Amino acid sequence: MLKIEQVGKTFNAGTINEKVAVKGLDLTINDGDFITVIGGNGAGKSTMLNLIAGVYIPDEGSIRLDDTDITRMPEYRRAALLGRVFQDPMMGTAGDMGIEENLAMAYRRGRRRGLGWGITNAEREFYRERLKTLDLGLEDRLTSKVRLLSGGQRQALTLLMATLQKPRLLLLDEHTAALDPKTAHKVLGLTQQIVSEHNLTTLMVTHNMKDAIHYGNRLIMMHEGRVIYDISGEEKKKLDVQDLLEKFEQASGGEFANDRMLLA
Ligand X SMILES: Nc1ncnc2c1ncn2[C@@H]1O[C@H](COP(=O)(O)OP(=O)(O)OP(=O)(O)O)[C@@H](O)[C@H]1O
151 binds, among Mg ion, ligand X, none (CB under 5 to 8 A by kind): none
Contacts (CB under 5 A) with Mg ion, residues 38-97: 45-46
- Residue 130 DSSP SS3: helix
Separation CA 156–CA 213 (nearest Å): 22
Under 8 Å between Cβ of 220 and 27: yes
Separation CA 177–CA 174 (nearest Å): 5
| Choice from 29, 45, 130, 164 touching ligand X (CB under 6 A) | 45
Separation CA 39–CA 138 (nearest Å): 35
**Residue 36 sits in the site that holds Mg ion (CB under 5 A):** no
**Residue 43 sits in the site that holds ligand X (CB under 6 A):** yes
83 binds, among Mg ion, ligand X, none (CB under 5 to 8 A by kind): none
Closest distance of CB 250 from ligand X, Å? 18
**Residue 44 sits in the site that holds ligand X (CB under 6 A):** yes
Query: In sequence order, which residues have a C-beta less than 8 Å from that of residue 141 and are 6 or more positions away?
Result: 99
Separation CA 153–CA 167 (nearest Å): 21
Identity of the residue, 131 or 205, whose beta carbon is nearer to ligand X in the bound complex = 205
36 binds, among ligand X, Mg ion, none (CB under 5 to 8 A by kind): none
Where does this chain bind ligand X (CB under 6 A)? 11-12, 19, 21, 39, 41-47, 207
